[in-house]
Amino acid sequence: MEMVKIIINGKEVEAPAGSTVLQAAELAGIEIPRLCYDPELSALGACRLCVVEVSGNRLLPASCVTPVFQGMVIETESDSVVEARKTILELLIANHPLDCMTCNKMGACKLADYCYKYGVKESPFAGEKHIYSIDDSNPFIIRDLNKCILCGACVRACEEMTGKDNLSYLNRGFNRKATTAGDVPYIESDCVFCGQCVAVCPTGALTEKSMAGLARRWEIERVQTTCPFCGTGCNFDLAVKDEKVIGVLSNPDAPVNGRSLCVKGRFGWDFIYNEKRLKTPLIKRNGKFEEASWDEAYDLIAQKFSEVKTKYGPDSFAALSSARCTNEENFLVQKFTRAVMGTNNIDHCARVCHAPSVAGLANSFGSGAMTNIISEVTNEAELLFLIGINPTEAYPVVGYKMRQAHRHGCKLVVCDPRRTELAAEADIWLQQRHGTDIPLLNGLMHIIIKEGLEDKNFIAERTENYEAMKALAAEYTPEHVSEITGVSVEDLYRVARLYATTDKAMAFYSLGITEHICGTRNVMSIANLAMLTGHIGRPGVGVNPVRGQNNVQGACDMGALPNVYSGYQSVTDQAIREKHEKVWGAKLPDKVGLKIPEMFEAAHEGKIKAMYILGENPILTDSNVNFIKEALEKLDFFVVQELFLTETAEFADVVLPAASFAECDGTFTNTERRPQRVRKAIQPLPGQANWETICQMVTRMGYPMSYNHPSEIWAEMASLSPSMAGISFERMEKESVHWPCPSPDHPGTPILHIGKFTRGLGGFQPNEHIPPGEMPDADYPILLCTGRIMQHYNVTTQYSPGINSVWDKEMTQVHPQEAEKLGLVTGSRMKVSSRRGSLVTNVWVTDRVQPGVIWMAHHHSETPTNEVTSHHVCDIAGTYEYKVCAVKIENVQEVG
């Protein structure tokens, strides 16, 4: 780095050429006051508080935008500088309500800090003041523009961090106002309530509503933790006052997200105090739940589980662990299932989302996780190729980063049957028909091979089975593919050429790919495309399944799967089994266990007699739920450990109250294979953490399970799992690493398959087109596709009063063509029926969906979407085909 010599306040220092005076001063340990400067935002140079004196310059330049030069002589606190700063502060407070004593930002207000520093008590500039009404019409943010100093940080954060462009300036001069289009309240604007504006605001203009009046800023204890919603792995600080969480504050040191969060992460935490939280164990007696002591509950569970095991054999038991829970809890549940119950019937909700990724990428590459990391979206990628993924709603912070990248020149291609936000913003949007991903991908490969754009060296050196791939792709001519997918031949060529010829092309996908009858084959087809073009094993490339749940990666890593122990070690491998038997002191089963759909089928058939479910709600989230309800009814004994008495918990015989993420120590592993700490901020509402409950329950069954702290559970896991052996709680305090990380001195592995695939050679897996299991027909003429919306997470957010007050019901997307036929308008009630069930929902008329298609989320128990979704499953991974089924819709004129 080229350095220049400068003199600041009489001291000669070196500064990197090209840095600003402000940065150079900071390096020299000199803090220059600033209000509009924010290192994460573009420079504005507008508050002028950071002005300095530079020899030879008749003006006082703003240090935040003035580059250093060799020999520059700078004074940061000269008389004229101090006079300017004091005068600017006087001007700002002349138009500021000096109600600091009741201001929610008191203690963290930069304006107050600088007035204090320069002794500005009052303003000599008495005169007109703005009087704006306070916008508190939304549940999350208090917007008091009387306290706005027009630093523009909120405007820039909205545009540059989130890319929502919801804020700009109104009027000029003294009447300038940073506000929404039309100057409407946030709630009436396009605001997505990510709260980035609040995180960057230097004054009390934008504050967290939940904290108002509850704590002065210096009284708040900040506990850094990991978000309990999607798999991005955002970190933030829980704001704790008097043993109570009062809000979420951004933590600039968060490794994945910096200060960016989404509405769920920043404002969805209030579910932890929902009055419906369970605090004591419940035992069902004569069909009704009664409160019970922990001892009563444990005794009953121990007795019943033991009975079932003795009477019907170990495989009559099945357990579901949870992608919502910590790694440590997941590890204990699978250990309990295997070592105590003696069966491999352990699974969790990855089955219903990314099991095809685990299976498909394991087939193609040898390991089933994101090959690359999120930061490469903005730092490396030249093209983002998205297929079957809606990031700005399902993984908002990842989506925001993609938008940032696109705005900085990275190309964006989106393949999606639905017009998602990023589809609308993309350079090229391929609107393939539902369930035609394999022909689309084969078609792209056909063109790449035909035009000689494939990476011949990569194919020769790094892969196998290419000839079969080539032969199959040859059949997928652009014309043929266009006919199947509805994508124009011209667009197929554009995308094929762009993807193949862009050096750093990064593929992302999610449940639009996996939740199909051919989900695993869809995944392998993306892997085929990446291998064909050599887009693997380097920064800015790869095949990247973004995972939807906070710890779905971790729950898989921990072995909450029927075929593997932690670290993806096969249960059928004798040496591995023996290693575990030795540590766990128990004989372990050698047969692969049942997957979720198989468990419910077995329960239906009377083969599974007892179940334990930790933190999952299949009745809301799994497909074809009427079948699942019948299965649960048939169980002899059923235990659920949960925060709330969920739809699934209602079926239980014993419900154990669970602790939320704010109440437990542990770890979540994000979608990038990055374990991060979850830290206990408050005492568990049920009195104990989940890992303690599991240990006590299992101990009662005669298997002593005892740890002092979750770090010991992690340590046991790591000692058994070579890919995570180098990661410990101690290390996580210091740094954030990605597995594989085989030893404490290993730096971790952000990028997989560099030089060599995990399986050796990458395997092309040619796949033919497999149409969805059920397509619209004469009786059920409409295609139903399902997914997640931005405001809600699959479960839990329904218990957030704040989020629910903004979006409290299902709004089913219906194309205007269907709406017109049935006389539906937005807000109408509509009955949706399939061969498996029916429900009544609310209509949102929108052309985001194609004609003949409706789209539903599955968040609300009043509209149980999964009563109608498909019973078809991916033949390899057992994942339900949530994305396509046939339904009919009717206009329901309901009274009231």
Partner 1 sequence: MAEEMRIVLRNYGKIDPLKIEDYLAQGGYKALEKARSMGQAALIDDVKKSNLRGRGGAGFNCGMKWSFAASATADQKYVICNADEGEPGTYKDRLIMENDPQSLLEGMAICAYAIGANQGYIYCRGEYPQVIEILNQAIDQAKAQGLLGDFDIEVRSGAGAYVCGEETALIESIEGSRGEPRFKPPFPPVQGLWAKPTIVNNVETFANIPVIVDKGGAWYADIGNPAYPGTKVFTLTGDVNNRTFFEVPTDTTIRALVFKFGGGIRGGKKFKAVQIGGTSGAFIPESLLDTQVAFDAMSAIGATLGSGATFVLDETRDLVDVSTRIAKFFEHESCGKCAPCREGTARMHELMKKLNEGKGSSKDVALLEKLGRVMSYSCLCGLGQAAPAPVLTTIKHFPADYNAKLM
Read off the tokens for 694: 């599991």
Least separation in angstroms between residue 25's CB and partner 1 is: 17
Q: Does 530 bind partner 1 (CB under 8 A)?
A: no
Contact indicator for 238, 226 with CB cutoff of 8 Å: no
Q: Residue 642 half-sphere exposure, CB side, CA atoms within 13 Å?
A: 26
Give SS3 for 639.
Answer: strand
Read off the tokens for 151: 């630093």
Least separation in angstroms between residue 169's CB and partner 1 is: 7
Contact indicator for 868, 838 with CB cutoff of 8 Å: yes
CA 637 – CA 886 distance, rounded (Å): 35
Rg (alpha carbons) of the chain, rounded to whole number: 29
- The only residue of 25, 30, 49, 386 in contact with partner 1, by rule CB under 8 A: 49
Least separation in angstroms between residue 280's CB and partner 1 is: 57
Least separation in angstroms between residue 192's CB and partner 1 is: 23
Q: Are strands 885-891 and 782-787 parallel, antiparallel or unpaired?
A: antiparallel
Q: Does 121 bind partner 1 (CB under 8 A)?
A: no
Contacts to partner 1 from residues 171-190, by CB under 8 A: 171-176
CA 265 – CA 238 distance, rounded (Å): 10
Residues in the chain, overall count: 896
CA 720 – CA 712 distance, rounded (Å): 13
Question: Which window, 122-130, 754-762, 783-791, 856-864, contacts partner 1 (CB under 8 A)?
Answer: 122-130
Q: Does 128 bind partner 1 (CB under 8 A)?
A: yes
Residue with smaller CB distance to partner 1, 128 or 733: 128
Q: Does 575 bind partner 1 (CB under 8 A)?
A: no
Least separation in angstroms between residue 827's CB and partner 1 is: 37
Residue with smaller CB distance to partner 1, 158 or 484: 158
Q: Does 116 bind partner 1 (CB under 8 A)?
A: no
Residue with smaller CB distance to partner 1, 47 or 717: 47
Q: Does 79 bind partner 1 (CB under 8 A)?
A: no
- The only residue of 125, 299, 760, 826 in contact with partner 1, by rule CB under 8 A: 125
Q: Does 109 bind partner 1 (CB under 8 A)?
A: no
Q: Does 58 bind partner 1 (CB under 8 A)?
A: yes
Q: Does 46 bind partner 1 (CB under 8 A)?
A: yes
Least separation in angstroms between residue 817's CB and partner 1 is: 36
Question: Which window, 62-70, 197-205, 227-235, 257-265, contacts partner 1 (CB under 8 A)?
Answer: 62-70
Cβ neighbours around 865 below 10 Å, total: 25
- The only residue of 4, 21, 24, 88 in contact with partner 1, by rule CB under 8 A: 88
Least separation in angstroms between residue 63's CB and partner 1 is: 11
CA 78 – CA 55 distance, rounded (Å): 12
Least separation in angstroms between residue 33's CB and partner 1 is: 12
Positive or negative, the CA dihedral 544, 546, 551, 555 is: negative
Least separation in angstroms between residue 70's CB and partner 1 is: 15
Residue with smaller CB distance to partner 1, 58 or 288: 58
Positive or negative, the CA dihedral 290, 294, 295, 297 is: positive
CA dihedral 827, 833, 839, 842 (to 10 degrees): -10
Interaction mask 599-638, partner 1, x per CB under 8 A: ----------------------------------------
Interaction mask 19-38, partner 1, x per CB under 8 A: ----------------x---
Contacts to partner 1 from residues 643-682, by CB under 8 A: none
Positive or negative, the CA dihedral 816, 818, 821, 825 is: negative
CA 841 – CA 811 distance, rounded (Å): 7
Cβ neighbours around 708 below 10 Å, total: 7
Q: Does 45 bind partner 1 (CB under 8 A)?
A: yes
Contacts to partner 1 from residues 129-168, by CB under 8 A: 149-150, 168
Least separation in angstroms between residue 102's CB and partner 1 is: 24
Least separation in angstroms between residue 65's CB and partner 1 is: 4
Residue with smaller CB distance to partner 1, 83 or 633: 83
Size of the site for partner 1 (CB under 8 A): 39
Residue with smaller CB distance to partner 1, 55 or 826: 55
- The only residue of 9, 87, 306, 699 in contact with partner 1, by rule CB under 8 A: 87
Cβ neighbours around 221 below 10 Å, total: 13
Question: Which window, 9-17, 43-51, 457-465, 660-668, contacts partner 1 (CB under 8 A)?
Answer: 43-51
Least separation in angstroms between residue 115's CB and partner 1 is: 14
Q: Does 241 bind partner 1 (CB under 8 A)?
A: no
Q: Does 408 bind partner 1 (CB under 8 A)?
A: no
Q: Does 342 bind partner 1 (CB under 8 A)?
A: no
Question: Which window, 42-50, 371-379, 483-491, 494-502, contacts partner 1 (CB under 8 A)?
Answer: 42-50
Q: Does 83 bind partner 1 (CB under 8 A)?
A: yes
Q: Residue 547 half-sphere exposure, CB side, CA atoms within 13 Å?
A: 35
Contact indicator for 147, 203 with CB cutoff of 8 Å: yes
Q: Are strands 853-857 and 782-787 parallel, antiparallel or unpaired?
A: parallel
DSSP 253: T
- The only residue of 47, 297, 527, 752 in contact with partner 1, by rule CB under 8 A: 47
- Annotate 57-124 with DSSP letters as a single string: -SS--BTTT-B--TT-EEESS-HHHHHHHHHHHHHHHHTS---GGG-TTTTS-HHHHHHHHHT--S-S
Least separation in angstroms between residue 47's CB and partner 1 is: 5
Question: Which window, 169-177, 268-276, 582-590, 857-865, contacts partner 1 (CB under 8 A)?
Answer: 169-177
CA 441 – CA 448 distance, rounded (Å): 11
CA 811 – CA 825 distance, rounded (Å): 12
- The only residue of 56, 127, 182, 213 in contact with partner 1, by rule CB under 8 A: 127
Least separation in angstroms between residue 87's CB and partner 1 is: 4
Least separation in angstroms between residue 48's CB and partner 1 is: 5
Residue with smaller CB distance to partner 1, 150 or 664: 150
Alpha helices in 256-354 (DSSP H): 263-267, 294-312, 327-335
- The only residue of 27, 67, 746, 816 in contact with partner 1, by rule CB under 8 A: 67
Buried/exposed 228-259: b ≥16 CB within 10 Å, e otherwise: bbbbbbbbbbbbbeeeebbbbbbbeebbbbbb
Instruction: Give strand pairing partners of 3.
Output: 16
CA 483 – CA 387 distance, rounded (Å): 19
Q: Does 42 bind partner 1 (CB under 8 A)?
A: no
- The only residue of 54, 60, 444, 789 in contact with partner 1, by rule CB under 8 A: 60
Q: Does 56 bind partner 1 (CB under 8 A)?
A: no
CA 770 – CA 522 distance, rounded (Å): 10
Question: Which window, 57-65, 196-204, 292-300, 407-415, contacts partner 1 (CB under 8 A)?
Answer: 57-65
Contact indicator for 569, 721 with CB cutoff of 8 Å: yes
Least separation in angstroms between residue 74's CB and partner 1 is: 15
Give SS3 for 188.
Answer: helix
Q: Can you list the positions of beta strands (E) in 731-810?
A: 762-763, 782-787
Residues 6+ apart with CB under 8 A from 102: none
Contact residues: partner 1, CB under 8 A: 35, 43-49, 51, 58-60, 62, 65-67, 80, 83-84, 87-88, 91-92, 94-95, 124-125, 127-128, 149-150, 168-169, 171-176
